[in-house]
Amino acid sequence: MMILGIETSDDFVGVGLADETGILISRAADPELRNKNLLHEFTENTLELAAVTFPDINGVSVSLGPGSFTGLRVGLAAAKGICWARNVPLAGIPSTEVIMESACNVAGKLLAVKDARRNEFYFGGFECDGLKWVRIIPDKTGPVEDILALMTKGYKVVGRHIQLEKSGISPENIIEYNPDELGGTVALMGRKRLVDGQSLNVASAAPEYLRYPGIGRSRR
């Protein structure tokens, strides 16, 4: 089963492929690709590099958020379009779990953190043994003070240095993930869900924003 992964919730756009052997290719591009036409071109280019065509795709996996409102809408729309055109199933993955999966070689209590703008962050908490993780804090939106408070309880932060250091989080407490790995990670995680029968309804699948678009009120 060949799965296409699309990750547009982050500052970078990620596309990847995974099959029963693991991740075949995973690439990231600049934020301006959160345009549907450019995302489609980047996806086609990624498939070409992997010597794969759209008829080879058996399913699509997409990050559902939290993250960029525009990015999530564009990514999900692209994923749905491929699913309808190819009549293949859709899987959805929380973006904090994508980050966690890419950093799970680190053991301990970890917070997967993404910039939510407006002086807030999206974050979720996990316990990792260096091989696998379990979620212990659901995804939330909050100021850096919420993250600092959890760090006093032994959590380390998985996120982007440039975003977190500006908010006063010391570099030694930050584990940086590689954006190039996210598209492939979405594909691999989605493949497992689809093999387990956990597909989404393509028509009704929706992003998980956590915060209402366009206004400053969070969903707590």
* Beta-sheet strand order (sheet of 133-142): 133-142, 120-129, 107-117, 156-159, 174-176
For the chain, the farthest-separated pair of C-alpha atoms sits apart, in whole angstroms, at: 50
Residue that wins the pLDDT comparison between 151 and 102: 151
- Can you list the domains of the chain with their CATH numbers? 3-94+179-195 (3.30.420.40), 96-176 (3.30.420.40)
Predicted confidence at residue 7, as pLDDT, reads 95
3-state helix, strand, coil in the chain (%, to 5): 35, 35, 30
DSSP state of 211: B
DSSP state of 208: -
Q: What is the pLDDT of residues 148-203, one digit of tens each?
A: 999 999 999 998 876 777 778 888 888 888 889 999 999 999 999 999 999 999 99
Q: How far apart are the C-alpha atoms of 21 and 50, rounded to whole Å? A: 14
Cα separation values, 68 from 23, 44, 163, Å = 25, 23, 15
Q: How far apart are the C-alpha atoms of 17 and 1, rounded to whole Å? A: 10
Q: What is the pLDDT of residues 117-127, one digit of tens each?
A: 888 999 999 99
Q: What is the rounded end-to-end Cα distance, in angstroms, of the chain?
A: 38
Pairing of strands 156-159, 133-142: unpaired
**Does the pLDDT of residue 32 top 70, yes or no?**
no
Amino acid at 186: V
What is the value of pTM for the model shown?
Answer: 0.91
